[in-house]
Structure formats: C-alpha cells, structure tokens
Amino acid sequence: MKPEDLAEEFARNVSAQTDSIWSGDARTGNKHAKRYIAAFKRLQEHGDTGRDALALLLKHPRMDVRVKAALYLLSERPSQALPVLEEAAKSEGMIPFEAAQVLKYWNEGTWSLDVD
C-alpha cells in the first residue's frame, strides 16, 4: 500500500474512533484505534516518505486527525507538529485536552509515544 493510502487509512480511522467515542461506543472506537496504529506502523516502514504522507494530515479539516497526526510525528518532526498541537490546545473539549497533555509532557521532557 502506498504511503498516501496509509495516511488516508490513518485519518479515516482516527475520525471513526472519535465519532464512536462521542456516540458512546468505545468498543468500536478501540477497533478503529487498532487500525490507525497499524497504519502508522506501516507508514514508519516507509521512513521519510511515510512521515511526509502523515505530515500532510497536519492540514486535515478535522482537528482530531490533525492532532493525532501531530502527536505521532512529534518526536521526529517537532517543528511541524508543535504548532498544530499548540493551536488545538487553545480550544476546549476532548481533542484540545489531548493536545494540551501532549504539550505538557513534551515541555517536561517526558513525552514518549508508545504504540506497541
């Protein structure tokens, strides 16, 4: 699968997870989380090309997709990811809270992405 297709799969499943959670269906949300994590792992196999494809999602129309892409890119591309997280953290709600927490851990030097 091409990196662009994997990035789209990542975005589709982040969106579906968020929608599932907001509708109270955590079980389905967890299924979508497993799928976007799998897509991310496959993107990693493409190296910089995979990161480039994921970085395109930093401009996605949905905040949840932008934030999730940013936190998955943060360690490798902080100059691209931090502005997205900072902008999202200015709002209120579940996604801005997630962005604020990631920024807190990043600033403390304790940020670590665990996708195993």
Domains of the chain, earliest start first = 3-108 (1.25.40.70)
Mean pLDDT of the 34-50 span: 96
pLDDT over 70 (residue 90) = yes
- pLDDT by residue (tens digit) across 43-77? 999 999 999 999 999 999 999 999 999 999 999 99
CA neighbor of 39 nearest in space, from 1, 71, 74: 1
pLDDT class of 114 with cuts at 50, 70, 90? confident
d(CA 63, CA 96): 9
